[in-house]
Structure 1
Amino acid sequence: MNKVFFLIFTCLLLCAGTHLAAQAFDYNRVTDHPRLLMKQGEELKIRESLKDNPEMQRVYNQIVGEADRLLICPTLTYKKEGRRLLAVSREALKRIFDLSFVYRMTGEDKYRLRAEQEMVSVCSFGDWNPSHFLDVGEMTMAVAIGYDWLYDGLAPETKALVRESIRLKGFAPSNDGEYNWFLKAGNNWNQVCNTGLVYGALAILESDGEEAAAVIERAMSSVPLSMKVYVPDGNYPEGYNYWGYGTSFNAMLIAALESAFGSDGGLCETEGFMPSARFMQYMAGTTGLAFNFSDARETTQSFPAMFWFASKLDDPSLLWNEKIFLTRGDTQFTAEEERFLPLILIYGTRFDMKKVTPPAAKIWTGHGKVPVALVRTGWDEGKGFYVGIKGGTASANHAHMDAGSFVFEALGVRWAQDLGMQEYYSLEKENVRLWNGDQDGQRWDVFRYNNFVHNTLTVNGAKHQVKGEVPILETYTKDAKLGANLDMTTLFGGDLKKATREVVLVKEQYLQVTDRVQAAGKPASVRWTMVTSATPRQIDSHTMELTKEGKKLHLIIDSPSAATFSVIDNVPSHSYDAPNPGSVRIVFDADVKAGRKETLKVRLVPVME
Structure 2
Amino acid sequence: MKDISAMLPAKPVGLGRPRGDRAAWEALAGLDAFRKIVNDAEKLAQEPIPEQPDDLFLEFSRNGNRVRWEQAEWKRRARLRTFALAECIENKGRFIKPLSEVIEALCREKTWVMPAHDGSLANFEGRVVDIDLASAALAWEMATVAWLFGNDLPPETRGRLFENVRKRVLIPFMDMVEGRRERNWWMDTTNNWNSVCLSGVVGAALAIVDSPGERAQFILAARKTSRSFLRGFGKDGYCSEGLGYWNYGFGHYVMMAETIIQATAGKVDLMDRDGVRLPAAFGARFEIMNGVYPAFADCTVGVKPGPSIMGYVSRKFGLGLGRFENEGPSAGGALFECLLFSFPNSVSGGDKAGRQGSGLEARTLFDSSGVWICRPGPSKSCRMGVAIKGGNNNEHHNHNDVGSFVVAIGSAAPLLDPGAEIYTARTFSPRRYDSGLLNSHGHPVPLVAGALQETGADARGTVLSTRFADVEDALVMDIRAAYGVKELTKLVRTFVYSRAGTGSLTVTDEVEFSTPKAFGTALITLGAWKEEQHGRLLVSDNGGFVLVDIKVEGSEFDIKAEEIREEARTPKRPTRIGIDLRTPVTRATVTLKISPDFAE
Structure 2-normalised TM-score?
0.79
Residue 109 of structure 1 deviates from its aligned partner by 3.5
Q: Distance in 2 between matches of 1:251 and 1:352?
A: 20
1:186 alignment partner, SS class: coil
Which of 102, 111, 115 matches 1:118?
A: 102
Letter in 2 for 1:601: T
Residue correspondence of structure 1 range 140-539 to structure 2 within 5 A: 140-151=139-150, 153-174=152-173, 175=175, 180-207=184-211, 212-263=215-266, 265=268, 267-284=270-287, 286=289, 288-301=291-304, 303=306, 304-317=308-321, 319-320=323-324, 340-346=337-343, 357-359=356-358, 360-368=360-368, 370-377=369-376, 384-425=383-424, 428=425, 433-436=426-429, 441-467=430-456, 468-470=459-461, 478-482=469-473, 484-493=475-484, 494-507=486-499, 509-517=502-510, 519=512, 521-539=514-532
CA contact (8 A) 1:233 1:271 kept: no
Q: Distance in 1 between matches of 2:355 and 2:45?
A: 36
Gaps of 5+ in 1: 1-22, 52-56, 328-332
Shift of the 407–322 alpha-carbon distance from structure 1 to 2, 3 Å rule, reads farther
Deviation sequence 1:350-398 (CA, Å, 0-9, x none): 5999977232523222244x5322234489xxx9433122222222232
Letter in 2 for 1:136: S
Shift of the 462–340 alpha-carbon distance from structure 1 to 2, 3 Å rule, reads same
Between Structure 1 and Structure 2, how many residues are aligned?
558
Q: Distance in 1 between matches of 2:558 and 2:22?
A: 61
Q: Distance in 1 between matches of 2:364 and 2:384?
A: 14
Residue 145 of structure 1 deviates from its aligned partner by 1.2
Letter in 2 for 1:603: K
Residue 196 of structure 1 deviates from its aligned partner by 1.1
Residue 603 of structure 1 deviates from its aligned partner by 0.9
Gaps of 5+ in 2: 61-65, 119-131
Q: Which residue of 1 aligns with 2:14?
A: 36
Q: Distance in 2 between matches of 1:386 and 1:24?
A: 53
CA contact (8 A) 2:289 2:385 kept: yes
Q: Which residue of 1 aligns with 2:121?
A: none
Residue 251 of structure 1 deviates from its aligned partner by 1.3
Identity %: 19
Residue 254 of structure 1 deviates from its aligned partner by 0.7
Residue 258 of structure 1 deviates from its aligned partner by 0.7
CA contact (8 A) 1:77 1:122 kept: no
Q: Distance in 2 between matches of 1:470 and 1:553?
A: 26
Letter in 1 for 2:508: D
Letter in 2 for 1:142: E
Q: Which residue of 2 aligns with 1:15?
A: none
CA contact (8 A) 2:300 2:419 kept: yes
Residue 25 of structure 1 deviates from its aligned partner by 5.7
Q: Which residue of 2 aligns with 1:3?
A: none
Deviation sequence 1:337-362 (CA, Å, 0-9, x none): 89844444336985999977232523
Shift of the 142–446 alpha-carbon distance from structure 1 to 2, 3 Å rule, reads same
489-498 or 516-525: bigger deviation: 516-525
Q: Distance in 1 between matches of 2:474 and 2:3?
A: 44
Shift of the 271–498 alpha-carbon distance from structure 1 to 2, 3 Å rule, reads farther
Q: Which residue of 2 aligns with 1:607?
A: 597
1:505 alignment partner, SS class: strand
Q: Which residue of 1 aligns with 2:128?
A: none
Q: Which residue of 1 aligns with 2:80?
A: 96
Letter in 1 for 2:231: K
Letter in 1 for 2:254: A
CA contact (8 A) 2:418 2:574 kept: no
Residue 402 of structure 1 deviates from its aligned partner by 1.4
Structure 1-normalised TM-score?
0.78
Q: Distance in 2 between matches of 1:305 and 1:607?
A: 36
CA contact (8 A) 2:312 2:325 kept: no
